[in-house]
Structures are given as C-alpha cells and as structure tokens.
C-alpha cells in the first residue's frame, strides 16, 4: 500500500465527523471542508476500496479467519493511494480511480466487514492520521473521533432516524441507476449498523466531547451551517 501526499505543511484544524451509514457524513464533510478551506478526507472510502478488492476476489461477508487472511494478502498485492484536497477525496487502486465502483450496496456491506479486521485497521489508521496531520482537514468515518484523531479540534457525531437514513441512501442509489427497493436498503443499513456497533475492533460510538447532531428533518445547508458555527467557536 502507498499514498502520494503533498509535501507536509503546518497542521491546521482537524474536524472529526463520525456516525452511522446514511447520516449525511460524506456530503456534509465535503461541503464543510470547502467552506472552511481545508481538505476533505473520506476515510470510509479507504475501507470501501479494500472491500472492493475482497469482492473482486470472490469473498462474501461475514469473513472467517481464512477470508480475513486473504484480505490482508490482497492489500499487500495491490496499491491503494489516497489523494486528499479541497473539495474531495480520490481513491486509486493500482492507479485506477474506483470512486464509482466502491459505492454499491454490496461494497458498503463488505467495507463494514473488512473494517472490523484488526490488520486492515492497523494498515489504514496510520495513513489517515498522516493525511490529517499534513494540512488538517475534515475527516469522516466511524472511528475518527475515538481512534484516528481523539484530540481533534472538533468532534462531531452525525445521526438520523433509521427511516430517514434509508430514504437518503435509496435516493442516492436511484440517482446512480441502482435498482433496489427502499425496504432492501433499510435492511442493509440495519445490518451494517449492527456490524459497525458490535465489532470488537473500534466499534462505532460517540466519542467523548463530541457535538451530537441529529440531521433528521434538517436540510444539508442547515447541518453545514450548524457545524460551521461550531468551527467558528474554536478558531
């Protein structure tokens, strides 16, 4: 594995955003980073890239010990690169942009499965910290405030009702012409919630000192404005 970050610069503000699938983390984090003028880093995309490799190798969740070993071997054989900049994160696997490939429902579930593997997290967490320390940034995932950056300048936990999160995810998939029902999306998200909160390695939880924001019924602009106000208090 490797990354090609820009030259190290004096660290700026680090905003850690955690929360369950469908809470709006990626869109909010990207918009907030652009407004502040710092990089946006979608750490979940890293796990999705590993999940994509696992799917392409014929693996299916849940992963047993043998499958877990194969995942680690896949990470050793393939090159995963992360390019973080203002407005977005690009994930490359062996030089190819996999931004679209990693957004399928199947890849989402596999990402949750591989993220529970200790060796996978040992490989990716240092990379996430390195990228965040270079220029600061808005980082989102499921253990940013608890594990990756427990001393972040601002820690946020975004959440929303199960129905609201399923509706949003279903809308995103329909926009990408993915044919799936709202019921299936809700079931998949509930399965991922269970996997993320019950895993032994870095489970999803509210980090100490986090600002908890329930985005149910809020517009994107309202959420971004709320977090921008929080950032303004610490700058």
- Each residue of 17-37: pLDDT tens digit? 999 988 989 899 999 999 998
Residue 151 lies in a domain: yes
Residue 9 lies in a domain: no
Residue in 39, 232, 227, 229 with CA at minimum distance from that of residue 137: 39
CATH number at residue 67: 3.40.50.300
The residue with greater pLDDT, 41 or 16, is 16
| Beta strand 88-93 pairing with 96-97 | antiparallel
Q: What's the pTM?
A: 0.82
The predicted-structure confidence for 149-185, as pLDDT tens digits, reads as follows: 999 999 999 999 999 999 998 988 888 888 889 999 9
Residue 174 lies in a domain: yes
- What residue numbers bound the domain in which 147 lies? 14-234
- Alpha carbon distance 179, 174 (integer Å): 7
pLDDT of residue 9: 43
Residue 5 lies in a domain: no
pLDDT above 70: residue 59 = yes
| Contact between residue 16 and residue 212 where contact means Cβ atoms under 8 Å apart | no
Residue 4 lies in a domain: no
Question: For the chain, what is the domain count?
Answer: 1
Q: Which long-range contacts (CB under 8 A, 24 or more apart) does 102-105 make?
A: 102/45, 102/48, 102/49, 102/51, 102/52, 103/48, 103/172, 103/176, 104/178, 105/173, 105/178, 105/180, 105/184, 105/185, 105/188
Residue 7 lies in a domain: no
Q: Count of CB atoms within 10 A of residue 167's CB?
A: 16
* Neighbouring residues of 114: CB distance < 8 A, sequence distance ≥ 6: 47, 50, 51, 54, 63, 71, 120
The residue with greater pLDDT, 86 or 18, is 18
CA 118 to chain centre: 17
Residue 3 lies in a domain: no
Residue 2 lies in a domain: no
N residues, the chain: 235
The predicted-structure confidence for 107-156, as pLDDT tens digits, reads as follows: 988 998 998 898 998 889 998 898 888 888 999 988 999 999 999 999 99
| Contact between residue 135 and residue 7 where contact means Cβ atoms under 8 Å apart | no
Mean pLDDT across the chain: 88
H helix intervals, the chain: 25-36, 43-56, 65-77, 105-115, 118-135, 162-175, 182-198, 220-234
pLDDT of residue 223: 96
């Amino acid at each position: 594995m490797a990354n090609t970050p820009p030259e190290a610069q004096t660290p700026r503000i680090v905003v850690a955003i955690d929360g369950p699938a469908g809470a709006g983390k990626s869109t909010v984090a990207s918009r907030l980073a652009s407004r502040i003028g710092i990089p946006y880093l979608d750490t979940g995309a890293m796990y999705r890239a590993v999940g994509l490799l696992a799917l392409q190798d014929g693996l299916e969740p849940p992963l047993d010990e043998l499958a877990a070993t194969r995942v680690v071997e896949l990470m050793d054989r393939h090159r995963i690169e992360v390019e973080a900049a203002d407005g977005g994160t690009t994930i490359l696997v062996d030089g190819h942009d996999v931004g679209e490939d990693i957004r399928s429902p199947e890849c989402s579930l596999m990402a949750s499965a591989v993220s529970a593997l200790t060796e996978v997290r040992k490989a990716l967490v240092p990379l996430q910290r390195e990228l965040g320390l270079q220029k600061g940034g808005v980082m989102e995932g499921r253990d940013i405030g608890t594990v990756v950056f427990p001393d972040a300048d601002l820690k946020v936990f975004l959440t929303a009702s199960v129905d609201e999160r399923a509706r949003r995810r279903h809308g995103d998939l329909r926009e990408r012409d993915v044919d799936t029902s709202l019921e299936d999306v809700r079931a998949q998200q509930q399965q991922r919630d269970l996997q993320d909160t019950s895993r032994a390695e870095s489970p999803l939880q509210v980090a100490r000192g986090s600002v908890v924001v329930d985005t149910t019924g809020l517009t994107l602009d309202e959420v971004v404005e709320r977090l921008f106000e929080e950032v303004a208090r610490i700058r």
